[in-house]
Amino acid sequence: MEILLLGISHHSAPAAVRDALAMERDEVAEFLQHLQLPSGPITELVVVSTCNRTEFYASVTDWQDAGRALCDACDTYLGVPHLGDPDFAYVRRDADAVAHLFRVAAGLDSMMVGEHQILGQVRDALVVADAVGTSGVLTDRLFHAAAKAGNRARNETGIARGAVSVALASVRMAGKVLGELGSQRVLVVGAGETGQLVAKHFSKESPASLVVMNRTLERAQVVADELHGTAQPLDQLAAALHDTDVVVTATSAPEPIITKAMLADVVHARAGRPFVIVDIASPRDVDPAAADIPELFLYDLDSLQSIVEQNRRAREKEVPRAERILQKEVGHFLDWYHALQVKPTIRALRLSFEEIAREEAERHAKHFHRTEREFLDKFTGALVNKLLHHPTIRIKQLDRSTGDGVAKLAAVQDLFALAGERAPAVTHEQDRGDHGR
């Protein structure tokens, strides 16, 4: 039994190839059903498919045969031959496959470091496989461990902190100036695509009010309805500025529509309360000279892009810390994985029983004479041998190439809490040796 990863991603394949292999949730389920696992060299399979990657994580008995089987399945079922193309696809095994999945879950393998969607997609991949019945003890544990590692890396480092899109950066800056956006009034000037995108991010913060203005009132009404706001005609802009705390402006006007004088008037009337303007229009809607007004925080496209860039760099600086966390989590998983061998399990089980016998004998030693204690040691030793005789035979008979065998080994580990008490870790070579025998 070993872990195999076969996949393509934005690092290895162009968009056309990725698109050809990308599967929706339902398509993944159908594909897994089509394979009718366990069959041949593949015992368990989970597919992570997003717009940037399609990866097959499998528990296999022979990685080469399993790889071929997966390539054939993609070729015949999806009509996509690229999985077998070494120019696009990559193969990882055991520890490398585990480390790769953990990096994916943490968002370290994503286009944008710390990207948040991928963790949900990794979790969802297991849910789909579980529903179809192609996941098993190994992949189940692997994906849960990956989700935990991804969570830790995000929560304990800064890889997912700071806005990395202009729209989100606008919201964050406004929040940093004004505090809770839930009590602020937001005015969106211009109902085009860009304005709408930023407005959507603000509407998620449930502002006290959201007003949409546009040259054509009908268009403003459509966007306002979508964002649970109200619409107003653009000619009321000067008055509306006085009744708002945050302005998002994104019109296609050739000249600034909000002058410094207008804003000076607004800021003066606010009696010292800060005022935020997000100008994402090109050319700009707000006179850049307005940035000099105290208590007015003006963010245009350039400044927002600079903020995004600063955040991106800050995230990248955090990558080594995240990598260290992942390394530890990979280590924990591999401890468990390597313990799923016949010989180490028997050894750990025996050590565990002998330890209990020794502790109990020592606890009651004061009640026995020295000669009796020798007898007691012999007795407990014999008892342990008798107790473990049958389980040892049964464990030796377990077939690790089947899901059932792995599940039973895992059950023994869990039942007797052997993971932390087993004999020294087994190397990959020993692992394969055991399997060969």
Partner 1 sequence: MPGANERHKLASIAVQPLLQLLNILLPLGYLLAVILYTSLYVTDATWSSRLAPRFAQGLALTHGAYLVLAGMTFEHVPVASMWEGMTFVAFALTVVYVGLEWRLGIRTTGVFLLAPALVFQILSSAFVTHTREVEEILRSSWFGVHVTSALIGFAGLSIAAVYGALYVLLYHSLKGSKVGLVFRRLPNLEVLGRLNWNAMVVGWLSLTLAILVGIVWVAGLQSRGEITGNFLADPKFLSTVAIWALYGLCLSGRLVFRWPSRRLATISLVSFVLMLCSTMVITFFMESFHRFG
Active site residues: 51
Return the number of the residue (313 or 428) whose C-beta is nearest partner 1: 313
> What's the min distance (Å) between Cβ of 332 and partner 1?
17
Which one, of 7, 209, 208, lies nearest residue 104 by Cα?
7
Sequence-separated (6 or more) residues with CB below 8 Å from residue 421: 348, 351, 352, 355
Query: Which residue, 153 or 227, is less far from partner 1 as judged by CB?
Result: 153
Q: How many helices (H) and strands (E) does the chain have?
A: 17, 10
Report, in Å, the least distance between residue 264 CB and partner 1. Answer: 14
Q: Give me the phi and psi of 99, to 5 degrees please.
A: -60, -40
Note whether 103 and 326 are within 8 A (CB).
yes
Residue number with CB closer to partner 1 (297 or 333): 297
Q: How far apart are the first and last CA of the chain?
A: 13
Strand, coil or helix: 72: helix
- Give the number of other Cβ atoms within 10 Å of residue 204's Cβ: 12
Cα→Cα distances 284→4, 89, 174, 381, 392, Å: 53, 45, 19, 85, 77
Q: Cβ of residue 263: shortest distance to partner 1, in angstroms?
A: 14
Q: Smallest gap, in angstroms, from Cβ of residue 229 to partner 1? A: 23
- How far apart are alpha carbons 286 and 251 in whole angstroms? 10
Residue 148 and residue 325: Cα distance in Å, rounded? 11
Phi, psi dihedrals of residue 207, rounded to the nearest 5°: -65, 165
What are the residues binding partner 1 (CB under 8 A)?
Answer: 155-156, 158, 161-162, 173, 175-180, 271-274, 291, 294-295, 297, 299, 303-304, 306-307, 310-311, 314
Nearer to partner 1, 88 or 299 (CB): 299
Name the residue nearer to partner 1 (CB basis): 64 or 310. Answer: 310
Task: Give the separation between CA 299 and CA 38, rounded to whole angstroms.
Answer: 57
Smallest gap from residue 320 Cβ to partner 1 (A): 13
Helix (H, G, I), strand (E, B) or coil at 286: strand
CA distances from 175 to 202, 207, 220, 276, 380 (A): 10, 11, 25, 10, 69
| 3-state DSSP assignment of residue 50 | coil
Which distant-in-sequence residues (6+ apart) come within 8 Å of 413 by Cβ?
A: 336, 339, 340, 345, 348, 419
Nearer to partner 1, 8 or 325 (CB): 325
Q: What is the DSSP letter of 231?
A: E
Name 45's bridge partners.
58
Cα dist from 292 to 55, 243, 263, 275, 295, whole Å: 52, 21, 11, 13, 9
Give the nearest distance from C-beta 328 to partner 1 in angstroms.
Answer: 13
> Between 278 and 348, whose beta carbon lies closer to partner 1?
278
Minimum CB distance to partner 1, residue 78 (Å): 43
Minimum distance, C-beta of residue 122 to partner 1, in the bound complex (Å): 22
CB 321, min distance to partner 1, A: 9
The nearer residue to partner 1, 176 or 389, going by C-beta atoms, is: 176
Beta strand ranges found along 152-256 (DSSP E) = 185-189, 209-214, 230-233, 246-249
Let me know: does 296 contact 263? Beta carbons within 8 Å: yes
10 or 148, CB closer to partner 1? 148
